[in-house]
Structure 1
Amino acid sequence: MSTPAEPPAVADDETAPTTTPPASGSRVLVVWTAVLAAFVLAADQLTKWWAESALEVNAPTIQVVGDLLGIRLIYNPGAALSIASGYTWILTIVVTVVVVFIVRAIGRLGSRGWAVALGLLLGGALGNLVDRLAREPGFARGHVVDFIDYAGFFVGNVADIAVVSAAVLIALLSLRGIGLDGKRHTDEEPAATPDDSARDDQSDPA
């Protein structure tokens, strides 16, 4: 009577799972985030240059889409809707902190959606920060160039569009439970409790 032959031993290094994730994907996302931010910054500054060259300050609005959308040049010392117009230097500090936070967060990217959101947010924040640092009346007190008139309610610029788009995308990603690293928070399994372990032991056959 013969016994079945035992299967050949497999080396430990062949069965051990690979636990180190590739870093190339993260580096690609960082690069694309930086490229998108640079594109938004360039578009913002170029359109502001055009607005200052082609429009007169506080001139009547030029209608583009009826009464819904027009262009007129103003210099905004405050935030959106001219809020906190007397605290330009405080707004400059706040935007600078936001930019530093975004730059630090980019290193943990693992999601294309978050890469787009942070690229838009970084480019928009830098676009308005350049105005506050480099324009009149002085360093950290510069007025932001606004020229896109939304039905007379407020006037903005390309940087504002990028920031709002980023905020909407971030909200959608958060609602879907997608974290900065690309993982879904809902996919995380709850930690086992002592009661769960006791039930498992009781269900095992003797």
Structure 2
Amino acid sequence: MIVVSDDRPPEDNPPPTDSDGHSAVSPEPRDAASGVVETAPAVPDSDPPRRLRTLLLIAVVLLGLDLLTKIIAVANLTPGDPVYLIGDWARFSLVRNPGAAFSMATGMTWLLTLVAAGVVVGVIRIGRTLRSLWWAIGLGMVLGGALGNLIDRLFRAPGPLQGHVVDFVAIGWWPVFNVADSAIVCGAILLVALTVFGFEPDGTRHGHDDNEKTEETV
């Protein structure tokens, strides 16, 4: 007589069991309707690093360069006695400017001082949540330039809030300017370009076709 055994061969690697003999391995979650195994959601990539440190570093470097060049200009140049570099096109010419960048709004020194202080506060507040490298560069340039001219208005003659900014670089027909003026203008141009092309301060970029945001590749 042939006897057929109902015993199943033992598994090579049986799952672990608890004290009651039940499997200790949690079953994979399945959708009740379709029976499809549900997988755990992927962990999203971490956000881009905040850029306040980069912003401040750029601002400090430009501020130091602006202050150093102004000190050298005041010590070596005489108002009304320019030093020509390339004919009449490029020269050093010391000017005390009571107005804004490139000698604009010369009769509103106190107002320009308050505006510069407001710009400094606003840039720092924006920089606390900034995640775009290019925005950090642009805002750092604006901050460094604003601080450079603000220091002149606070500490140079004729007095606080009325101080005249030291300008000393003259190119062609362009009004005399300094490092701070250049930083403000270049930073502002960069920020306008970033805005036009859809780059956001939070590190994302607006699509031009479907208006969806895609990650900025910087």
On whether the aligned pair clears a TM of 0.5, the verdict is: yes
Tell me, yes or no, if structure 1 residue 105 matches structure 2 residue 126: yes
Q: Which structure 2 residue ranges, 5 or more long, are not aligned?
A: 1-26, 31-38, 214-218
SS at structure 1 position matched to 2:192? helix
User: How many percent of aligned residue pairs carry the same amino acid?
Assistant: 41
Amino acid at match of 1:122: L
TM-score normalised by structure 1 residue count: 0.79
Q: Contact between 2:116 and 2:146, CA under 8 Å: does it hold in 1?
A: yes
Residue by residue, what CA displacement relative to the aligned partner does 1:159-203 show, whole Å, maximum 9, x if unpaired? 01111110121122112100111211227439xxxxxxxxxxxxx
CA drift of 1:43 comes to 0.1
What RMSD over aligned residues (CA atoms) do the two structures have, in Å?
2.3
Equivalent residue number for residue 202 of structure 1: none
Equivalent residue number for residue 65 of structure 1: 86
Tell me, yes or no, if structure 1 residue 176 matches structure 2 residue 197: yes
SS at structure 1 position matched to 2:166? strand
CA drift of 1:10 comes to 5.2
C-alpha separation in 2, matches of 1:162 and 1:81: 12
* Higher Rg of the two aligned structures: 2
2:102 to 72, 81, 100: 81
Q: Identify the structure with the greater helix proportion.
A: 1
1:90 to 111, 114, 121: 111
SS at structure 1 position matched to 2:119? helix
C-alpha separation in 1, matches of 2:110 and 2:133: 34
Tell me the matched-pair count. Answer: 179
CA drift of 1:117 comes to 0.4
Tell me, yes or no, if structure 1 residue 18 matches structure 2 residue 37: no
C-alpha separation in 2, matches of 1:15 and 1:68: 68
Equivalent residue number for residue 132 of structure 1: 153
Residue by residue, what CA displacement relative to the aligned partner does 1:38-90 show, whole Å, maximum 9, x if unpaired? 0000000000000000101222x212133321101010001133222121000
CA drift of 1:19 comes to 5.2
1:37 to 59, 64, 68: 59
